[in-house]
Amino acid sequence: MGLFGKEEDNANAEHHTESAGGPVLVGAIKLGTANSTITAGDKLIGTRSLVRKIYKSTAYERSTQVPDIIVGSTALEYEGLGELIYIVNKGVVKTKDAYYLVEYLFNHAKKFNKTEPKRMKIFAAAPSIAAENQKDELEELLKEFVEDVKIISEPLGSLIYHNWVTGVCADIGHGTTDFTLIHQKLAVKDEMGEVVADTIPMGGRDIDFAVQQSIKRKYGVEVPLEECMRIKEEYCGPYYENIVLGKEIPSLAENVITEEGIAEMIVIDKDIVASVNVIIDHIARKIVELIGKSPFSIRKHLYGAILLNGGISSIRGLEISIRKRVAELANLDLEQVNVILSQDPLHASILGAKKAAEIVFK
């Protein structure tokens, strides 16, 4: 069976420990709606969380060079062939198909680690409210590859990476946003003793839909979601801040590819860039709700330390909108609320998970 995809590398610190039977490598893995990443010694290897399955019914089809299973970004290149599967949906890993992607990531990591995955101990970052059976399934899947696995919530990984001891982290990904609250390095609990955390089905994909609708309203053309995702990354990322601060944006003419496959020249205006606003209220409301469930004495500290992580925290100005909305909803002065964008939106959670693994597995 053929397997292939594309990878991106990123520098990071290496860490080995010794245990009986040779060196053990400690690392972390993250499976997300849009991206999945694994640590490989001093590197990070990541790819799109996609699997394409191609069923070949005839001898002729079987004789072609196209593999049966294609994973990662390459899966996008075979439009119309077979079935394209997103391996994570609403924060839940669809285990059977995820196997191919996990296998691909471990195979790549192995090249860099020079250690068999079976000698690895890893932390896997999962949504804050993954149900026990979902965590068990993820653990079971990963145990087929490694010596030991522990599950950590993704936003907790980000808080660890940023060395925060008290605060709220909203990890805004493609399909979901995950919330975790800590105080003095421990998970915050409500008056019933339950951990205060949540996941909502809201993220980058909702902005992509809003971009799509905005273009359709204005130009009457249907632009595929993949193209809307690109527009979001290229234009909302740098220019949303202008909208929030009431500044003009430069005139941005752009060729977009429509559903019909035709290039159409459109102007990326302020309405399209403002599509980011569709997520603001949902995220701010959940932050206020969760802080409201926390012990009264620490709420002030939590409002003062809100961290935004995940790919969407690459959008500059997002912290300004969320801060304003949180202050409004909680009836606080702006000065009492602090919202900060991640120092490494796409990697903080996995790097924090790795840091936790180094402490626990040492």
- Catalog residues that contact Mg ion under the rule CB under 5 A: 32, 173
- Kindly report the length of the chain: 362
Helix/strand/coil for 80:
coil
Which amino acid makes up residue 10? N
Which amino acid makes up residue 336? Q
Among 175, 211, 274, 299, binds ligand ATP (CB under 6 A): 175
- CB of 125 vs Mg ion, minimal distance in Å: 8
Contact 50, 83 (CB under 8 A): no
Question: What is the pairing mode between strands 8-11 and 43-48?
Answer: antiparallel
Structure tokens at 44: 């990070």
Q: Which is nearer to ligand ATP, 183 or 205 (CB)?
A: 205
Residue 274 binds ligand ATP, judged by CB under 6 A: no
Rg (CA), the chain: 21
- CB of 91 vs ligand ATP, minimal distance in Å: 6
Residue 317 binds ligand ATP, judged by CB under 6 A: no
Could you say which of ligand ATP, Mg ion, none residue 88 binds, taking C-beta under 5 to 8 angstroms by partner kind? ligand ATP
Residue 272 binds ligand ATP, judged by CB under 6 A: no
- CB of 199 vs Mg ion, minimal distance in Å: 10
Q: Which is nearer to ligand ATP, 5 or 237 (CB)?
A: 237
Contact 183, 189 (CB under 8 A): no
Among 115, 128, 153, 176, binds ligand ATP (CB under 6 A): 176
Crossing angle of helices 318-330 and 237-244, in 10° steps, is: 50
Could you say which of Mg ion, ligand ATP, none residue 233 binds, taking C-beta under 5 to 8 angstroms by partner kind? ligand ATP
Residue 312 binds ligand ATP, judged by CB under 6 A: yes
Contact 204, 34 (CB under 8 A): yes
Contacts with ligand ATP in 225-254 (CB under 6 A)?
229, 232-233, 236-237
- CB of 207 vs ligand ATP, minimal distance in Å: 7
- CB of 243 vs ligand ATP, minimal distance in Å: 14
Residue 258 CA to residue 272 CA, distance in Å, equals: 16
Residue 50 binds ligand ATP, judged by CB under 6 A: no
Span interacting with ligand ATP, options 97-105, 168-176, 190-198, 324-332, rule CB under 6 A: 168-176
Nearest to 180 by CA among 310, 81, 41, 297: 310
Contacts with 312 (C-beta within 8 Å, 6 or more apart), sequence order:
172, 173, 203, 204, 207, 279, 318, 345
Site residues (CB under 6 A) for ligand ATP?
32-35, 88, 91, 173-176, 203-204, 229, 232-233, 236-237, 310-312, 314-315, 346
